[in-house]
Structures are given as C-alpha cells and as structure tokens.
Amino acid sequence: MRPRSAADRRRTPILLAVHSARVGGAQLMALDAAGWLADRHELHIAVRRGPLYERFAAAGRPMRASPTMTFGWGSRRRWLLELARSVLDAPRIALYVRRHRIRVVHTNSTVLLGPVIGAWLARVPVVVYARELPPDRRSRLLFSLLGAFADTVVAVSSAVESAFAGARGARVVRISDGIPIPPVPAPREGFGSPLRLCLVGTVNRDGRKGQDVAIDAVARLTERDVDVRLDLVGPIQQETSAAALAQRAAARGVADRVRLAGVSDRVGDVLASSDILLSCAHSEPLGLTIMEALARETPVVATRVGGVPDIVRDGETGILVAPGDPAAVAAGVGELVADPARARAMAARGRIDIAKRFDRTDALRALEAEIARAAAS
C-alpha cells in the first residue's frame, strides 16, 4: 500500500448530500462545489438518479440518496411521512459516516434532514447550505430543526439569513453563490425589434418563478404597441403547469409572442441574445439567472423579493418592481426601452458589480473554509 503523502493527509473525507439531480440552481451549485471539493478532498456524494446524476457520480464516490422534505404544498400527512422517512434514514447515514471516517457532512439544501441528524448521531459536524425560504409554518419548523442539529448554516442571502435568525445552536454565516464571470461582451446597439425578453426558471406547480406575471406583462406591452417576444426557458416539471401557461398566453391574445422553450444547457447564450431578462418570481432566495444576465450585460427587470435586492441595486444596475404586478414589470421594460443608453450603462455597471461580489471562486473558497472550520471543531 502506498504510504499516505502530506497532500493525502490534508484531504478531508467529506460527505456531500444533494437533494436531487434535476436541473435547478441548488443542484448546479452543488455540482460546482462537488468538482471543487473533489479536487482537494476525498468526496463521497449521496445523490439520487436524475439528469445531473452522472456528473455528480464522476466527482465523488456515490452512495444512496436520502429522502427529502417538500416545501409549500402537499398534505400534512405527507409532510409527516417525509419527516419520519428522513429521521429513519439518519442511522444509515451515521453508519456510513463512521465506516468511511467522514469528517464533515455538507448538504446543499434545506430539504435534507436525514444527513443532518445522521451526522449528529455520528458526532461529526454538518454544514448546511440554505438556498430556500420557508414558505409556511412547517418549513419554519424544519429550519428550526436544522438550526438545532447543524454546526453551520450557510445562508445564500440576507433574506435566508433572516429566516435562521432565531436558530439555536448553529453558527449562521452568509455566503452567496457565485458564478463564473464571462469575458466582456461585444457592445450592442439599442434593442432588437421585436424586443426579445426571456425568463429563465423551472415551470412547476407553485408557479414560483412568476411566468404568469411575465405573460401578462407581455400582453400589456402589446397593448402599448411594443412588438415583443418572450422566451420562457427552464425545465418543465408538470405538463399541466406548462399547459396552463400556454392557455394564459392564448387568453391574453399573446400566444404567438410567448414560447415555452423547455430546459436549456446553454442559458448563457440565451441571456446574451436576449434584450432584457425578466425575473418575476413571487419568492426567490437568491436568483442566479439575474447574476448570469448582468454578467453578460443583459439588462434586468426583477421583482423585489427575497435575496434579489442583494443582487440588484435598484435604478443603478437593474430595475426592481413589486411582485405579482404585471403593469409594474411592463413599466420597467418600458423605462429601459425608452432610454437604451441608460439601460446599457446599468447593465455594464451590473457586470462590474456582479464580478466583484458574486464571483464563483470566491464563493467556493469561502464554502471550503467553512467546511474546514467545521472539520477542525
């Protein structure tokens, strides 16, 4: 057997638990962290099957995933069942942790409870990345449990940090997710005709990303004779939700202007070729697509919810509007279109600001430091 080198001894055995392998911000950020941690440590990954599974499995040693909790919908009975399943999974995790001498457990989402209790049972620290906002009382209870069992809670924004304000036990720190900053784009002239809007986000049953509001905003712009197209890009979780959006566009008379594009693995290109990104979320813990748009100097109109004001400086780097208000979204778009030079200047300032505050490497280094801190405790 090869003697362990000094570099090997510095490699900490870490178990990363990921809540799903579907395309979504919390999963993509976990994938990025997995690559970063795997280059520097011994990484084990608990993740279920899904479109991103192979990429996770390539980064670390895969193990069976833990059950998850759902947020904001479903019956009380279902929630209790999920809670019971999560708790019952904890001994399996504890056994794995002991057997593989794991030093830290890291979870990518607050919907995972089993690995947190499992680590506690095995007496190793847990670092929870909190990327959600609790929509109801049950989720707040879940946050209290996480706060009690975790060693460190990493909150992705000030809004998420506030949701852990009363948490007992855990150290709560804020590390916003970061993105790779692309090269400065070629200068663009004015806006396109038709005006190309896009909204990037999952189509799911709770309509959290506000695609409905974006469609209604398109209808209002059309009434004002603005020739506009809207691409709704993102995985479609329920066909019924997608059908409801298509129906809405038809009912507002803008079916030919709205396209449900489905999931894309080239969101950067979509953003770079759009005139304006709309972020119409009703609730948003952070909002990666806003950063991704600004990093490409694509102007942004976004709802003032959750962590979004952490990203967008209203009137300086983008336009913030009230949630659930299509007229306000349309007015925000109108404001940008009326003054393309100002819109470009805002987006250019946005790029500089994003590069300074939301750089991928800075975020990953900060996370690794928290994991190292926990391991040393």
Ligand X SMILES: O=P([O-])([O-])O[C@@H]1[C@@H](O)[C@H](O)[C@@H](O)[C@H](O)[C@@H]1O
The verdict on whether omega for the bond into residue 194 sits within 30 degrees of 0, i.e. cis, is yes
Tell the residue number behind the tokens 């983008």, with chain if given.
318
281 lies in the binding site for ligand X (CB under 6 A): no
Binding partner selected for residue 220 from ligand UD1, ligand X, none, CB under the kind-specific 5 to 8 Å limit: none
Burial of 275 (0-12, 13-18, 19+ CB in 10 A): buried
| Stretch of 24-32, 52-60, 304-312, 334-342 contacting ligand X, by CB under 6 A | 24-32
Let me know: does 128 contact 116? Beta carbons within 8 Å: yes
Angle (CA) 317 287 193, round 5°: 60
Cα separation of 239 and 295, whole Å?
A: 32
Taking alpha carbons only, the member of 266, 323, 275 closest to residue 299 is 275
132 lies in the binding site for ligand X (CB under 6 A): yes
Residue 201 CB, shortest distance to ligand X, in Å, is 9
Q: Using CB under 6 A, which of 15, 18, 24, 204 touches ligand UD1?
A: 24
Binding partner selected for residue 19 from ligand X, ligand UD1, none, CB under the kind-specific 5 to 8 Å limit: ligand X
296 lies in the binding site for ligand X (CB under 6 A): no
26 lies in the binding site for ligand UD1 (CB under 6 A): yes
Sign of the CA dihedral with 176 first, then 180, 186, and 192 last: negative
286 lies in the binding site for ligand UD1 (CB under 6 A): yes
Q: Using CB under 6 A, which of 111, 127, 195, 258 touches ligand X?
A: 111
Let me know: does 163 contact 130? Beta carbons within 8 Å: yes
The full length of the chain comes to: 377
Strand partners, 279: 302
Cα separation of 219 and 103, whole Å?
A: 55
Angle between helices 25-40 and 288-295 (to 10 degrees): 80
234 lies in the binding site for ligand UD1 (CB under 6 A): yes
The three-class DSSP label of residue 129 is strand
Let me know: does 134 contact 163? Beta carbons within 8 Å: yes
Q: How far is CA 312 from the centre of its chain?
A: 16
Binding partner selected for residue 177 from ligand UD1, ligand X, none, CB under the kind-specific 5 to 8 Å limit: ligand UD1
Binding partner selected for residue 28 from ligand UD1, ligand X, none, CB under the kind-specific 5 to 8 Å limit: ligand UD1
Q: Using CB under 6 A, which of 36, 53, 56, 71 touches ligand X?
A: 71
Cα separation of 136 and 72, whole Å?
A: 6
| Stretch of 16-24, 38-46, 84-92, 300-308 contacting ligand X, by CB under 6 A | 16-24
144 lies in the binding site for ligand UD1 (CB under 6 A): no
Cα separation of 53 and 46, whole Å?
A: 10
Binding partner selected for residue 111 from ligand UD1, ligand X, none, CB under the kind-specific 5 to 8 Å limit: ligand X
Cα separation of 298 and 339, whole Å?
A: 14
Q: Using CB under 6 A, which of 82, 89, 161, 177 touches ligand UD1?
A: 177
Binding partner selected for residue 20 from ligand X, ligand UD1, none, CB under the kind-specific 5 to 8 Å limit: ligand X
Binding partner selected for residue 287 from ligand X, ligand UD1, none, CB under the kind-specific 5 to 8 Å limit: ligand UD1
| Stretch of 58-66, 195-203, 346-354, 359-367 contacting ligand UD1, by CB under 6 A | 195-203
Question: CB-wise, 42 or 161, nearer to ligand UD1?
Answer: 161
Binding stretches for ligand X (CB under 6 A): 19-20, 22, 24-27, 71, 109, 111, 131-132, 202
Q: Give me the residues that bind ligand UD1 (CB under 6 A), please.
A: 23-26, 28-29, 131-132, 156, 177, 200-202, 208, 233-235, 263-264, 267, 284-289, 292
